Structure formats: structure tokens, C-alpha cells
Structure 1
Amino acid sequence: MSAASITKQDAELRIQPLSAHIGAEIHGVDLTRPLSAAQIADIRAALLKWRVVFFREQFLNHEQHIAFSAQFGELTVGHPVFGHVDGHPQIYSISKFRKATRFEGQSLLRPWTGWHTDVTAAVNPPFASILRGVTIPPYGGDTQWTNLVIAYDRLSEPVRRFVDGLRGVHRFAPPAGATGTSAFASAVEQHVLVSEHPLVRVHPETGERALYVSPGFLKHIVGVTPRESQALLELLWEHVTRPEFTVRFKWEAGSIAFWDNRTTAHLAPTDIFDLDFDRQLYRTTLVGDVPVGPDGRASVSIEGSPVGAAAAVALN
């Protein structure tokens, strides 16, 4: 290894924020190579501060993607319901033509439709997700993220006190009014995941409180009437997707997004289905902890198993 390459790899990272509350690009690092302890610490610090961090021109293969991810935690199986890439149990394929997770006939679209935090139906949702762009359309296909900590902070104090004590049931199921494909129905039936989480979770590293209300998975609030649950959830879902809490990312081939799943929700694009271009990304996820609310109560599993490294190993 040349002195020049050592100097470049060990140079201080450059952090470029993209919005007021969430999202930053990180420059000055080569993710195809092992990172130094200082670089890992700097990237993790940026992740905790900006919730989602982005890298450009990082042309990783599957093995390098897995190796980069493993420097920040244990990897889960690609997806606990929909499986993984053949030969790489830690990687999940996200393509335009994913039949298993496509829905048709959705009857009601609302401002929060499609927003979600990854796999919150599990009792220990992933700590983080790392998404790599490979085939990217020349336009369209942007992904958005929102900051659930600032969303909690911007609630009025009486509402914060109220939601601090509430809990909700998260379930892996099609959106209301949607007709899933047979592949989707079969996968969900074979891998049922249902968990009860606090509506506000305390971040295990920073102590911050995040409004943990994944629109794609949270089905109802525990201990209130159905109408009360609907009204409260719609209020909170509308709130967490306020534009000023969000960042929108334009993908390029070689782009990587690395987000803290404990403090964010995100929105996958749907405009790609109106375009003639292919879109292919690959994702790894890192094993997460069991959420804990402000009252100290941990989440509980209602049905299904925790999402952990053991599942990935078993499929290898």
C-alpha cells in the first residue's frame, strides 16, 4: 500500500449536511476497504447526529457491502419475511419489479402512505439499514427520510406527556385496502411478525426520545377505542411526515444510504413505476435492540421470532 493511499484513507472525513434536521453526505473515505477505528467512530457519530448519512461513488460488490456493514454491528438475514439474495443471506434485493412486495388496488392514499420504519413488526427491529444503489434511473426514484426525534420534540408538551405512556401493536400485513400478490400472501402467512412497542422509544445510545409510529406497520394503539386509535395515529403520522423534518436523496450508481432505524422513517419511491427505466438496489440490516419507552417498559413479542444474526447464519 502506498503512502498516498494511506494518507487518503486516514484523512479526516468531510460531513456535508443536507437539511436542517436530517441527512448528511460523508466524503473522504473508501468503503471498499476496512475502515480505521477513528473512521468508524466518526461515521457512527455522524449517523447519530444526522440520522441518515450518504456516500457517493462507492462501487461495492456484495462481499464488500457485507464487510462494510459488519464494522457497525451484526447483520440480520436479508429480510425476515421475503428472504435474501442467493448465496448472500445477509443481502436483500430491492428492485423495481419486486413482485413479493408489490400491491395493487390500494383504495386510499394519504400523506403518510408508504412511510415506514424497517421491520418494526419484530420485537427487535433493526438498528440500522444500509442501502446500496447499483442500477439507477436517470431521473425519478428518490427516497425520503424523516427525523422522528425532532418530530417528538415539536409536539406540544401536553401531547408529548400523553404519548409517552402509550403503546401500539405493529404487524406485518398489506396496507389497508390493498390486494397483495399470492407471493406476498404466502410469505406473510409463513413468517408472521406482531409486536407491541411504545409509541415513544428512548434511544439506547443518546437517550433521545423518538416518536416511534411507523405508518406502514403500526396498526392500533393499545387500550383505547378503535376511533380514538385512528384519530391519534392519523394525527401523529401526519405530524412525522412534515416536510421540514425530512430529507430527499437523489440516487446515483455507487450511492449508499446508511440510516438509524431507531430515529427515522422513510418513504420508498413510487414514481419509478411510471418510468421505463430499471432500478436495482441492495440492502443489509444490522441487529437491533428491544425498544424501551420513557416509563422503562420494553417492547414485547406477540407472535414471531426476534430478527437476529442467527437467522442469517442458519440460511448460509
Structure 2
Amino acid sequence: MVEDSAVEVRPVAGYTGAEVVGLDLAKPLSDAEAAAVRAALLRWKVLFFRGQHLDHEAHLAFARRFGTPVAPSRRGSVSPPEFPGIETTADRLELGGRYGMDRAEWLDRRRHTLLRGWHCDHGARIDPPAASILRAESVPAYGGDTCWSNLAAAYAGLSAPLRAFVDGLRAEHRLGVGYQPRPGDDAYVRHLLDHQQASHHPLVRVHPESGERLLFVNGYYVEQILGLSRAESAPLLEMLLEQAVRPEYTVRFRWEPGDVAFWDNRATVHLAPNDTGVADGPRVMHRVMLAGEVPVGVDGRPSDPVTGTAPGRW
């Protein structure tokens, strides 16, 4: 337990995740409180704040204490137009019927392996967001939990020879990789062609604040390690993905209305729920993302853009 004034940080798992109590996020944070939150985020990678009940303005004000909110040009159809930095997701309102598919087919065509759902937000961009702040407006009685995994712990858990090997590798992160198209005209394929994003990121990136080395892999955007044949790349990537989400490096969070999760998008991957249709009730969430930097590898070399928007443009 770590204390700073009224702020109390309570770890909830061995490597990842802590609950922060003693703060009302609807009120401005003092410099000491903001510093305590930032230190806890760097240490535990994802922070949970229970029962906050923020509105959109307070959500954005909290986010601005830690960076610059981005305003994506494409947001969910139920996102508030007067708050461009807020993305709203409502599973039953959006995922059902999206691109002409029901939710089950949509997920099945995107998730071709058991590890496919794990991802960082917008990892195919040249400058993925530094952090995300998600708050729950309403959730079903059960189901819809979110999991996070610690990429610094995953890297440290590799053997020394393997760490030395992956330090020098890079991988292509591409939007829509592995998607199985529908027969005939496919609306999602047309969306991918119109909004393609791809970057060559280091397989091990260095955290710009903590200096930690992070195993920068995820199942949602990455399918090819550069310089390796597909036959060589596939088993190595599968092994690294399994390493990245070993149970001991993860935390699982049960949402309640008003809860807020704040995670370091550079140092974690997370898994979106696939069980929100089990219980009745909507799952409505609001997200703010903070602008990030171009990843840098162990050798000091930044990521290379392949296609998509320039850094800082959304």
C-alpha cells in the first residue's frame, strides 16, 4: 500500500493493476495528486477508480492532467458530437449489424486465433495513443469484464538469450490483418481499403518515461515479423503472444456503473469482452485517448510508417 496525502494505491494483482481510492475525479486534481496517479500508472500500468460518475466535461478535464486528448475523425455512431474527444461504445447499438454482420460473425471473422482479441489501442498507427481512460455508464448484471496484461513484465520474463534476439527485431502492425472476408461484396474489406493503417514497429520498444523495455506484440494488429519467413515468423510470434498474456501478468476488472479505468497503452495490451450478450442490459462505455509518440526500439531507432495518417493527425 502506497499513500500520498489522501491518495491510496491498492495493488490488485502481482504485476498489473491497482485501485486508487481517496480521489474524486470530478474535481480538479492537485499537483501532488496528479503526480501520485502518474507514478502509480507507471508502476502498475492500469489504474481503477470506483464509483466516480463523471460527465463528459469532467472526463476530459481529468484526461488533460496527463496529456492531450485526441479527437478521432471516425467514432462510434453514438458518440457525443459536441465532445470530439469522447468515443462512446454501446455494444447492442453498434456491434449488431455492423458491416452487415451480427456481433458473433463480426468477432469470428476478426479473431482467427485465441490470442487475436488482445491489443493496444490503435497499434497500427505510427504514433499509438499513450494512454486510454475508459468509464462505464451502464453495464449488464454480469459479463463484460476487461483484462489487461503487463508488457514490461512479459519482456522481463523471457530468457536472456531470447531477449537479446527479439531486441533487434521489428514487426508490421496492420489494421485488419488476419480478417476472413465474407463471400462476395464485404463492407468491412471496403472500409479497410479506404482507411488502411500500417507501421513497422520495434518488437521491443523502450518506454519514454520509465525506460522499461516492453514486448510490443498483440494479436489484433501483428502477423509478420520483418526479415523472417512466414514459416519462421508464425511460431515465434505465437510464442511471444502467449508470453505477453501469461495469466500471472494479467488483471481482470469487473465493471460497475461509474467506474473508470486508466491504462498505459504503451505498456499494456487488453482484451475486450466477448460475453456481453449473456446477461440482459446494455454496456455503454466512454473512452478518451491521449496523444502518444512514435515508438523507439532498443537501438534508438523509431518506428517506420507504411501507410495511414501522419503523426498527430487523427
Amino acid at match of 2:20: I
Alpha carbons of structure 1 residues 23 and 191: separation in structure 2 relative to 1, 3 Å: same
Amino acid at match of 1:46: A
Asked if residue 162 in structure 1 is aligned to residue 165 in structure 2, the reply is yes
Structure 1: distance between partners of 2:187 and 2:59: 27
What is the correspondence of 1:225-264 to structure 2 with a 5 Å cutoff? 225-264=229-268
**2:136–2:258 CA contact under 8 A, matched in 1:** yes
What is the correspondence of 1:107-122 to structure 2 with a 5 Å cutoff? 110-122=113-125
Deviation, 1:11, is 4.2
**1:111–1:238 CA contact under 8 A, matched in 2:** no
What is the correspondence of 1:105-254 to structure 2 with a 5 Å cutoff? 105-106=108-109, 110-173=113-176, 175-177=178-180, 179=182, 184-254=188-258
Deviates more, 1:186-195 or 1:29-38: 186-195
Alpha carbons of structure 1 residues 221 and 206: separation in structure 2 relative to 1, 3 Å: same
SS of the residue 2:277 aligns to: helix
Partner of 1:36: 30
Asked if residue 87 in structure 1 is aligned to residue 82 in structure 2, the reply is yes
Deviates more, 1:63-72 or 1:39-48: 63-72
**2:75–2:87 CA contact under 8 A, matched in 1:** no
* TM-score between both structures, scaled by the size of structure 2: 0.89
Structure 2: distance between partners of 1:206 and 1:243: 23
Alpha carbons of structure 1 residues 275 and 245: separation in structure 2 relative to 1, 3 Å: same
Counting matched residue pairs gives: 301
Structure 2: distance between partners of 1:179 and 1:58: 42
**1:80–1:191 CA contact under 8 A, matched in 2:** no
Partner of 2:298: 294
Structure 2: distance between partners of 1:118 and 1:37: 28
**2:112–2:178 CA contact under 8 A, matched in 1:** no
SS of the residue 1:158 aligns to: helix
1:24 pairs, out of 18, 24, 38, with: 18
* TM-score between both structures, scaled by the size of structure 1: 0.89
Amino acid at match of 1:283: R
Structure 2: distance between partners of 1:212 and 1:95: 29
Amino acid at match of 1:118: D
Structure 2: distance between partners of 1:105 and 1:34: 43
Deviation, 1:178, is 5.9
**1:196–1:301 CA contact under 8 A, matched in 2:** yes
Alpha carbons of structure 1 residues 131 and 165: separation in structure 2 relative to 1, 3 Å: same
Amino acid at match of 1:91: I
Deviation, 1:62, is 1.0
Structure 2: distance between partners of 1:118 and 1:46: 20
CA RMSD of aligned residues (A): 2.2
Structure 2: distance between partners of 1:117 and 1:34: 28
Deviations 1:86-136 (A, max 9, x none): 221111112213334851543975331200011110000000000000011
**1:62–1:88 CA contact under 8 A, matched in 2:** yes
Gaps of 5+ in 1: 1-9, 312-316
Gaps of 5+ in 2: none
Deviations 1:169-194 (A, max 9, x none): 11111643365996644443332211
SS of the residue 1:272 aligns to: coil
Structure 2: distance between partners of 1:89 and 1:107: 27
Structure 1: distance between partners of 2:144 and 2:111: 22
Partner of 1:46: 40
**1:14–1:28 CA contact under 8 A, matched in 2:** yes
Partner of 1:7: none
Percent of counterpart pairs with the same letter?
A: 44
Partner of 1:6: none
Deviations 1:194-239 (A, max 9, x none): 1000000000111100000021011211111011111111111111
SS of the residue 2:109 aligns to: coil
Alpha carbons of structure 1 residues 28 and 73: separation in structure 2 relative to 1, 3 Å: same
Deviations 1:54-98 (A, max 9, x none): 001111111111111111101112475768532211111122133
Alpha carbons of structure 1 residues 105 and 264: separation in structure 2 relative to 1, 3 Å: closer
